Structure 1
Amino acid sequence: MNGSTANPHLEVIEWLAQGLRDEASSERIFVQLCERLMKAGIALSRATLHFRVHHPQWLGTRLIWHRGHRDADVQNIAYDVEATDVFLKSPFQFVIATGKEVRQKIQLHGPHKFPVYEELRDQGHTDYAAWPLDHTQGRRHLVTFATDRPDGFDDSDIALIHSTLPLFSLVTEIRLKNQLARTLLQTYVGPHASEQILDGATTRGSGATVSAAIMICDLRNFTLLSGSQHRDNVIEILNEYFDLMADPIERHGGEILKFMGDGLLAIFPLNKPNACQRLIAALTSAYEASARRTSVKFPVRFGTGVHVGEVMYGNIGSQRRLDFTVIGPAVNLASRLETMTKQLKRPILISADFVASAGCAAQADCLGMHNIKGFDEMIEVHALNIQPPRLAPQ
């Protein structure tokens, strides 16, 4: 090997063992590994790292590094990729299934075993190697390296790369598990709550008082839906309904704290500018999107209660099972208003306090004072007017 250091093997191993305590990114570690292998004399031209991840949208992540690039290209991989011909006829499938190394000189005449070798040859690469990257609990990932040196890799190149893999596997597993914890928390409790929990808000009763606009939304006719539709159809309709609501809430800066059967609870903290107006914008987008659904068997309709006030935001529950949520009279009133949408036959009911905070009197109809369960004084209730878009004739 054309080594540029006295002991390139020990240098890379020492860096993997001791030099990465402050580096949290698997992507940066992977790029630095490629650069260090090149410094050690290996003529790398391309490398890829394939991780399986626990994400609601993606099966995995692929990092692609090319020589001379400061960063790797990061690509998300869809769940259906493993059913495609591209995957089934690839060295990736073989390595993942068998746990064996793949090595191929690719400057050869005639067709190769895997079509990807033809692509690599056309790009000027001459040799290719892929290894399983095994983590604990039977989780297997993949790393590949290619060179464009005319003679390909030599035996010492392969030996050096292979010797780095046990430590590289350990280093990446630690980072991947950290990212997994963050992804799972963001998926199940939301981005802000997840950061609070990761920062140490894990004791029962820990939390803070937050001023926020609160919305509680509930799907209509869910009992009829559950009794008349197959279970899979019910789940599909629920997911579509939550997409209709969740996407605009998150896009406009709100945070969904909880899915409750066929309902959801979300807040727009008032420490962000125009929080109440952004809540109205989110509801407008959701109801307009719902009105555009013209070719479905079961209509998705929902009622929403909205209020603004102080809430207790934090951990509540038993000693061993906690829920990070919001509670307080403001949440209770939003819930009561949502329930009243059925009685008053208006899809969005808002409190007078919210009208004042949002400055939306021109967009609302005052429905008068109402006795509301759990509140001693009568509450002034308004109905928010959202005009659905005009649809072209079918």
Structure 2
Amino acid sequence: MDQSKLLAFINWLIDGARSADEPSRTLYEACVRLVELGIPLWRVGIFVRTLHPEIYGRSFVWRSGGEVEVGSVDYGFQDSRTYRDSPISVVAQEGIAFRANPQAPEAERYPILMDLRAEGVTDYLALPLAFLDRQVHVSSWTTQAPGGFTDAQVEAIRSLIPALSRYTEIVTLQRTASMLLDTYVGNSAGERILGGQIRRGHTDTMHAAIWLSDLRGFTPLSDRLPAENVVEILNHYFDCQVDPIREQGGEVLKFMGDGLLAVFPIPEQGGDPAEVCGRVLTAARASRARVDALEYAVDGTGERFRFGVALHVGRLLYGNIGGGNRLDFTCIGPAVNLAARLEKMAARLKRTVVASEAFAGTCKESWTDLGEFPIAGFSTGQRVFGLREEAG
């Protein structure tokens, strides 16, 4: 094996694999280069734990002659028999290398090795990818070459593991930061924060449709139920809204007790306010149907729920607000204030969906003018509109 070419490959990894624009492409190029160096790879896999509220880990698998397949496993996988009976669990838990011949009788205790035996694999090598925080992730390497990997080929694979670990760790940290920001502040805000908009006072204006909702009767409900039940109810309740909001292009900015604030940005160039507001209303109707169908068993009976949502459209200020080094990426302004006041009007008017005059005028629907009402903080009364389908 040409050691100078192997060193050049390792330096390519250390330099960030700049010819590849994403991790799956990096794995593809790496495997192709290693085959060209004389390592007869058949299948290579990388399994990395994630810090994600729903996904336990991600896998990247390359096969000779194919592209890289990217997959994920949910929480609970680590407790499954599939994981416990795999070499990956041995490597991840003990931080040691694992090598076996799938054609040997002793390989029969591992189902994955039986699958590889059927593919004609003659050698399986799993190596730990150790991160600086002491977490251990896993790489696996297989070949169909008669007799398996040679000692020189195994040594070559082992020599590139430190560089592969550092590359994988950097990519994982970047992805983790992005996922956490997306989870806790929303996608658009996360992109801005990662882009460097982190100082207090960094703000922009945005033209957007605004969604502000809350759960009816939440206070008495939380008083009479154990806290863990209240949390479970809130999670189910928010599920009824978050998916429809995101499906229609909205972004959830924050949860405030039983309240939810979301925005649907209207592009400054070529944006169609009517189209965006139409999607907002679609999300509102879908959320209403889901909340109506939500039932939770309390004291042997089925508890049903109602919520209210106020819709408005206008310009808002969007950015970092807070004190010292504790900031919140949020939106403020008269438009947000009006949405908050209208949301309170929804309960008073016994409506699920209410809209401002600006929203109703933009989204041409079957609206009913519910009248003009004095709104705290506004010098003039504001007209409130409700969906005609909710009348009576």
Matched, 1:312 2:317: yes
Q: Relative to 1, partners in 2 of residues 1:19 and 1:174: Cα closer, same or farther, differing over 3 Å?
A: closer
323, 331, 334: which one pairs with 2:336? 331
Which residues of 2 match residues 182-201 of structure 1 at below 5 A?
A: 182-201=178-197
CA contact (8 A) 1:24 1:175 kept: no
Aligned to 1:148: 144
Aligned to 1:126: 122
Alignment: residue pair count: 382
How many Å separate the matches in 1 of 2:239 and 2:156?
49
Offset, 1:148 = 0.5
Aligned to 2:283: 282
How many Å separate the matches in 2 of 1:9 and 1:214?
56
Offset, 1:47 = 0.8
Offset, 1:275 = 1.0
Offset, 1:41 = 0.6
Which residues of 2 match residues 363-378 of structure 1 at below 5 A?
A: 364-378=367-381
Which residues of 2 match residues 93-112 of structure 1 at below 5 A?
A: 93-109=89-105, 112=108
Q: Relative to 1, partners in 2 of residues 1:239 and 1:19: Cα closer, same or farther, differing over 3 Å?
A: closer
24, 27, 34: which one pairs with 2:24? 27
Offset, 1:21 = 4.1
Q: Secondary structure at the match of 1:278?
A: helix
Which range moves more in the overlay, 9-18 or 241-250? 9-18
Aligned to 1:14: 11
Q: Relative to 1, partners in 2 of residues 1:120 and 1:302: Cα closer, same or farther, differing over 3 Å?
A: same
How many Å separate the matches in 2 of 1:387 and 1:83?
48
Offset, 1:20 = 2.2
CA contact (8 A) 1:284 1:386 kept: no
Instruction: Output one character per residue of 1:106-139: Cα deviation in whole Å (capped at 9) or x when no partner.
Output: 1224762322111110111111000110101122
How many Å separate the matches in 1 of 2:227 and 2:154?
53
Q: Relative to 1, partners in 2 of residues 1:311 and 1:19: Cα closer, same or farther, differing over 3 Å?
A: closer
Offset, 1:6 = 5.8
**Any stretches of 5+ residues in structure 1 without a counterpart?**
389-394
Matched-pair identity in % = 38
Offset, 1:36 = 1.7
Q: Secondary structure at the match of 1:82?
A: helix
Which range moves more in the overlay, 275-284 or 171-180? 171-180
Which range moves more in the overlay, 157-166 or 12-21? 12-21
How many Å separate the matches in 2 of 1:159 and 1:284?
61
Offset, 1:24 = 5.0
Aligned to 1:253: 249
CA contact (8 A) 1:82 1:88 kept: yes
Q: Secondary structure at the match of 1:377?
A: coil
Aligned to 1:391: none
Q: Secondary structure at the match of 2:379?
A: coil
330, 342, 347: which one pairs with 2:347? 342
Offset, 1:291 = 2.3
Q: Relative to 1, partners in 2 of residues 1:232 and 1:19: Cα closer, same or farther, differing over 3 Å?
A: closer
CA contact (8 A) 2:43 2:141 kept: yes
Which residues of 2 match residues 256-271 of structure 1 at below 5 A?
A: 256-271=252-267
Offset, 1:377 = 0.4
Instruction: Output one character per residue of 1:176-217: Cα deviation in whole Å (capped at 9) or x when no partner.
Output: 111111111111111111111122211211121111111100
* One-letter code aligned to 1:348: V
32, 36, 39: which one pairs with 1:39? 36
* One-letter code aligned to 1:371: P
Offset, 1:19 = 6.1
Q: Secondary structure at the match of 1:44?
A: coil
CA contact (8 A) 1:34 1:44 kept: yes
* One-letter code aligned to 2:72: N
**Any stretches of 5+ residues in structure 2 without a counterpart?**
none
Q: Relative to 1, partners in 2 of residues 1:386 and 1:217: Cα closer, same or farther, differing over 3 Å?
A: farther
Instruction: Output one character per residue of 1:64-100: Cα deviation in whole Å (capped at 9) or x when no partner.
Output: 110011x310001111101111111111111111111
TM-score scaled by length of structure 2: 0.93
TM-score scaled by length of structure 1: 0.93
Matched, 1:116 2:112: yes
How many Å separate the matches in 2 of 1:19 and 1:326?
37
Please give the root-mean-square deviation of Cα atoms over the aligned residues, in Å. 1.8
* One-letter code aligned to 1:381: V
74, 78, 93: which one pairs with 2:70? 74
* One-letter code aligned to 1:163: S
357, 366, 384: which one pairs with 2:362? 357
Q: Relative to 1, partners in 2 of residues 1:23 and 1:318: Cα closer, same or farther, differing over 3 Å?
A: farther
CA contact (8 A) 2:47 2:138 kept: yes
How many Å separate the matches in 1 of 2:266 and 2:15?
45
Aligned to 2:220: 224
Aligned to 1:166: 162
How many Å separate the matches in 1 of 2:31 and 2:203?
44
* One-letter code aligned to 2:212: I
How many Å separate the matches in 1 of 2:390 and 2:7?
69
